[in-house]
Structure 1
Amino acid sequence: MGLPRKLKNLNGFVDGESFLGVIAEFEEPNLALATEDWRGGGMLGPVKVDLGLEAMEAKLKMGGHTASLIRKFGTSEVDGLRVRLVGAYQSDDGRPPEAVECFIGGRFSEIAPGTSKAGDDTEHEYTVPLSYYRRVVNGRTEIEIDMIAGRFIVDGFDRYAEIMAIVGG
């Protein structure tokens, strides 16, 4: 029997500060290759040629006003903000929970405070374009992308190492 692992609980840390009880939601970045169609002479049709990676973006939702996060808006560094998100995923088939950690580096490009009405729930959403992303499951790094350093590691294999060796990285 197999049942899917579902998120049972989570916490977020921004520059080391815990947001346990405050973080409402985290949207991981989509991972996408940047590609371009190429059809050379003699080919029956185009193929997608790998040109690197698309830009990555994550989102955080916090339950209400969080002054310490608003104060981080406008940093001039592309990796001026460090976020660690920890989730416990568990299926209801008796298997133990899995620890899933996401480490991201970027900066807030947008803060959406939404609407505020006395007595109603409020959430602030923070958009983070990423220069760094790492996903770790039970202590094992599954994927690590460092846009600035030119690292693209999947399951322990750096898919970009040979190119970085040629260009001096």
Structure 2
Amino acid sequence: MRVVGLAGWSGAGKTTLLTRLIPHLVAQGLTVSTIKHAHHAFDVDVPGKDSWQHRQAGASEVLVSSARRWALMHELRGADEPPLGALLQKMSPVDLVIVEGFKAAPHRKIEVHRAGNGKGFLFPDDPGIAGIATDAAVETNLPVAHLDDIVAVARLIERSAMPIADVLAGRSPDLLD
């Protein structure tokens, strides 16, 4: 498995870009999974449903299964949020895991930047950023692709992805290769 992230300020278009990248990468024959970091409480469960009631009653984990999918929800119940490496170890093997968020974690990232967002670039302060997907002009030695050029952004993703073993070992993404 190889891992790469999409990092950027809220509103930069990370999710929109990711939902355009996944079908392209899958069409290239890759298996792709994602990890999405949320900065707030979120729920994948519908209040009132059985699985929601199980969690509300205090279950540490609730696995919901059907003929179409299964999902495992794990309640931290006050424990610390697990680091990216621990979450990656829970993933089933695929060719590529794309991490949305976790911008402070030590893995390679493609910065997603939208000029209309009014925020600065992350890359000057993050050595893990290996490329930039933006709709703005930028002076940098990093590879840059336009946000709407899915083929070019996909190439950045594939070139920048690092082996999961390097992420788990905490190897600095800017020193690899």
TM-score (norm 2): 0.23
Higher strand share: 1
TM-score when normalising by structure 1: 0.23
Larger radius of gyration: 1
More helix by share: 2
